[in-house]
Structure 1
Amino acid sequence: MTARVLIVDDMLANLKLLEARLVAEYFEVRTASNGAEALELCDRDLPDVILLDVMMPGMDGFEVCRRLKADLRTQHIPVVMVTALDHPNDLLKGLEAGADDFLTKPVNDLALITRVKNLARLKLLTDEMLMRASTEEQMGFAAAMGGEVVEAGRSGRILLVEDREGAAARMVDALKADNDVVHLTDPAEALLGAPDGNYDLLIVSLNLQNADGLRLCSQLRSLDRTRHLPIMIVVEPGEEDRLHRGLDMGVNDYIVRPVSTSELLARVRTQVKRKRYTDFLRSRLEQTVEMAVLDPLTALHNRRYLSNHLDTLFQESADRGRALSVLLIDVDHFKAINDTHGHDAGDDVLRELALRLRRNIRGIDLACRLGGEEFVVVMPDTSLDSAYLVGERLRQCIAAAPFIVGAHDRPISVTASMGVAALEYETDTPDLIMKRADQALYCAKRDGRNRVVADAA
């Protein structure tokens, strides 16, 4: 894949070297020689990934990173800190500034290309989810995440699969202060436990004595419940081929033995932070999709969903010669309820009616609010006679007990009229069935309301 990469370094030789390596992989590269120039370039044209040197005169890389992550326009751009520093706190300082990854000078070619490609893919995914699910509330959350990156990466639930006792003990000791760590030696046990463990990160050794760590990674990537679980692999020096295979199957990060505890902590916090943020975006996207097909007042499906889903249910029933019935429901004298008790009371009536509706239909039935005080229930595998009985049961349920409405919990009597129609003719269409149900509903209202009328055609 290609992406726009900004390299920031005050040493011309470093700039040219990194630029040549990335251009050879078909990345679009821009360069800046200081922090101020980098911020100006980002303001004009947003890159996909930033490689940022730490030690620069004037404004160092930590300050540049902090400013980027504090800006709503640039806080989602992945930042890779490039440093020659080896003090244990330097990586954590970069994390606190908001860095997404780390490279140590001299930069390894494989590490450079791998991390830039992974972060570019992440940026593409994040951009797409933000575009589909962005609201002011979500952007506010994103700003909070950008400002609290340390807390976002703490208290992770980590699953470590390592059968070397000493190596496992060192990693658990390093991680347990900030995380809940579960250590397993058997990959089969990990495969069974990972889907139900609510983990934020899986760490797998590729050098398990009696198993293939890559196979475990592959199996977890193929499961729906662990498809998005971040995976970090622990590799030996010189295992480039196996590392490439792991990255190709979707491994998120890696660390080379001997494992540096400061690097391990930094990478774990980055992965935990990233998972929580993408989980949030994914959840918001799912909520956005739900909002598009659900009625906000009653939480039933809306007319838009009905128009699409009814066609599918109708076609399945017609193709298989199965029954299909539609029940239209209209609240009697609803305008009078609003005029007498207020619109809030009217809303309470509609919400309570939706609850009673749900309790009296099957899971396979589709209940929707058409709008106003009108509802519809689509019932697969249900004949006209059976649908009539369902309607009568619903009518009695609505009329039997008063509805409690308003701030003072006033009880009011509510009734509903209903019309039923079914798939009966070869020439039937969803529109024709709905029309016949509507005609039946009209007859129910004309004949005195609080009654169920079957197909009046």
Structure 2
Amino acid sequence: MQRRILIADGIPANRIVFRVKLTDAFYQPLLATDGAGCLRMARSEQPDLILMSFDLPDRPGPLLLAALRGDPATCKIPVIAFVPPGDSAARLAAFRAGADDVMSRPPDMTVLLARIRNLLRQREEASLMAEAWGGHLAQMPGLAEPAADFADPGEIGLVATRPETALAWKHRLGGALRNHSHVLSPEEASGIWPGERAAAPSVFLIEADLGTPGGGLRLMSQLAGGSTTRHSMFCVMASPHDPAAAAMAFDLGAEDVMAPGTGGEELELRLQRLLRRKSRSDSARKSVEDGLRLSLIDPLTGAYNRRYALPRLAGIAEQAAAAGSDFAVMIVDLDRFKSVNDRFGHAAGDAVLIEVVRRLSENLRMNDMLARIGGEEFLIALPETSQPEAERIAERLRRIVGDAPVALGPGRPALPVTISIGLKAAGGAAAPEIGAMIDEADSALRRSKTAGRNVVTLCPTARLSLHAP
């Protein structure tokens, strides 16, 4: 789908130039001649990105940006603002009002098109994460953070060819950011704190030509692929006389590019924005990871749930068929569990489930799988396990659960608990049908119940073991 870019500029010649350049780059340009038209088209057309002059005739740039950022329909659209060359006050005002980037007029088209690609890619990544949750991240509990809540500034790594250059950057910053900024040599940055993810800087500020032309960009690419630094934000210091370096930095994934002469106030403002973005990104990623984990884990017992168990069991069966090895499946059920809930309450029932899972987990191997597939019913998969070995494991689990009662806490009686197990073993070159295998194990479990409970039954043979009278 062709991306649409809204151009808001009061000068016809500028609109023509932008329209031609964007059309040549396979974007669909939309044109607005003033601030009112920009707002109206942003709301109705929902462009992918906005290019706006900061001095439109009918509305000051800060007010127009505030209106875009204050409207839920337009607040997430990336905006690049254009200001007169050398107007540092306008640059600061644009960044403070919410512009994603600010460029002097006329912009270098190579850099501008690279920045457009960069911002659109960032927006697409955020949209993909939102779609995975079925909504917008900013509207979802736990994923939206107020911009004002910025207590921990995070750490900033300053990397330049000469330490004096990085120290000069540091001294341009205010007290809080200065205290959290660290001068790093290229060697220190490239080998940063291996295995200590929490110690990696939140933001790297890297000189583009680090030792050699493009050396900083190569370092950035290395850090972006590193296990400890891949979630860091990257800002590149590139000379305004080298637009190719700035464009390359954006295409390689830098979150921002600045000129070496950027003033301290603007430098601090832009680094703070990157730190806030890093904090929001970490929070969103953690929420997604927690959500994915909870979608696969039973929240009460910590065992896997059915959603995870069935595909994992199918994978175990396929691996066994490919290797010609054996594996086994157990269906485990707590005996007379309903009476525990009826007599002692659901809190006691929960305590019993948690303790039984703990005992089972502690007596299974690392590559075995334990999943809760019903109220008091569990599935255990044993990869690379022969039938005799599976029988021994099942008997051991039955004995470990039943040998000691479950303590319910001070002043309450300990409850004797037993389990019944249905066991199905399989092997050979053909992977069995998982649903049928589970049904056979479940049938063996029912025979264990019929035989008096606290029993292991192997399918399709008769009862294998029974508790001592």
Question: TM-score, with normalisation over the residues of structure 1?
Answer: 0.87
Change (3 A) 1:351 1:143: closer
Contact preservation (8 Å) 1:101, 1:267: no
| Aligned twin of 1:403 | 406
C-alpha separation in 1, matches of 2:410 and 2:38: 58
Change (3 A) 1:96 1:354: farther
Identity %: 30
Query: How far does the alpha carbon of each residue in 1:139-172 deviate from its partner, in whole angstroms, 9 at most, with x for none?
Result: 1568954x52x65597132111113233212211
C-alpha separation in 1, matches of 2:81 and 2:152: 20
Deviation at 1:380, TM superposition (A): 1.2
Deviation at 1:203, TM superposition (A): 1.7
Correspondence for 1:173 among 161, 171, 174: 171
Equivalent position amino acid for 1:158 in 2: I
| Aligned twin of 1:79 | 79
C-alpha separation in 2, matches of 1:267 and 1:189: 24
SS at match of 1:167: helix
Contact preservation (8 Å) 2:406, 2:416: yes
SS at match of 1:102: strand
Query: How far does the alpha carbon of each residue in 1:60-84 deviate from its partner, in whole angstroms, 9 at most, with x for none?
Result: 2223323333333332221223223
Query: How far does the alpha carbon of each residue in 1:30-69 deviate from its partner, in whole angstroms, 9 at most, with x for none?
Result: 1223333322222222111122333345542223323333
| Aligned twin of 1:190 | 189
Matching of residues 26-425 of structure 1 within 5 Å? 26-57=26-57, 59-84=59-84, 90-134=90-134, 139-140=139-140, 144-145=144-145, 147-148=146-147, 151-152=149-150, 155-175=153-173, 177-179=175-177, 180-185=180-185, 187-193=186-192, 196=196, 197-209=199-211, 212-404=215-407, 411-424=414-427
Query: How far does the alpha carbon of each residue in 1:298-346 deviate from its partner, in whole angstroms, 9 at most, with x for none?
Result: 3322222222111111121122122312222101112222222333433
C-alpha separation in 2, matches of 1:409 and 1:56: 76
Moved more, 150-159 or 68-77: 150-159
Deviation at 1:391, TM superposition (A): 2.4
Contact preservation (8 Å) 1:324, 1:379: yes
Equivalent position amino acid for 1:127 in 2: S
Change (3 A) 1:210 1:111: closer
Change (3 A) 1:29 1:153: farther
Deviation at 1:388, TM superposition (A): 2.6
| Aligned twin of 1:435 | 439
| Aligned twin of 2:467 | none
C-alpha separation in 2, matches of 1:210 and 1:103: 27
Structure 2 residue runs of 5 or longer lacking an equivalent are 462-469
C-alpha separation in 1, matches of 2:169 and 2:412: 59
Moved more, 124-133 or 29-38: 29-38
SS at match of 1:226: coil
Deviation at 1:233, TM superposition (A): 1.7
Equivalent position amino acid for 1:203 in 2: L
C-alpha separation in 2, matches of 1:92 and 1:156: 22
> RMSD across aligned C-alpha pairs, in angstroms?
3.1
Q: How many residues align?
A: 454
Change (3 A) 1:75 1:370: same
C-alpha separation in 1, matches of 2:385 and 2:143: 51
Change (3 A) 1:32 1:177: farther
Moved more, 406-415 or 118-127: 406-415
Equivalent position amino acid for 1:217 in 2: M
C-alpha separation in 2, matches of 1:60 and 1:406: 68
Equivalent position amino acid for 2:437 in 1: I
C-alpha separation in 1, matches of 2:14 and 2:143: 33
Change (3 A) 1:105 1:262: farther
Contact preservation (8 Å) 1:95, 1:270: no
C-alpha separation in 2, matches of 1:435 and 1:308: 16
Moved more, 12-21 or 164-173: 12-21
Change (3 A) 1:130 1:424: closer
Moved more, 403-412 or 288-297: 403-412
Deviation at 1:205, TM superposition (A): 1.1
Question: TM-score, with normalisation over the residues of structure 2?
Answer: 0.85
Structure 1 residue runs of 5 or longer lacking an equivalent are none
| Aligned twin of 2:466 | none
Equivalent position amino acid for 1:191 in 2: S
C-alpha separation in 1, matches of 2:151 and 2:115: 19
C-alpha separation in 2, matches of 1:60 and 1:232: 29
C-alpha separation in 1, matches of 2:436 and 2:447: 17
Moved more, 301-310 or 343-352: 343-352
Moved more, 394-403 or 43-52: 394-403
Contact preservation (8 Å) 2:356, 2:401: yes
Change (3 A) 1:82 1:356: farther
C-alpha separation in 1, matches of 2:138 and 2:337: 37
Change (3 A) 1:323 1:123: same
Change (3 A) 1:161 1:418: same
Deviation at 1:118, TM superposition (A): 0.8
SS at match of 1:403: coil
Contact preservation (8 Å) 1:325, 1:387: yes
| Aligned twin of 2:449 | 445
C-alpha separation in 1, matches of 2:291 and 2:167: 44
Deviation at 1:409, TM superposition (A): 6.5
Contact preservation (8 Å) 1:344, 1:406: no
Change (3 A) 1:137 1:234: closer
Moved more, 27-36 or 223-232: 223-232
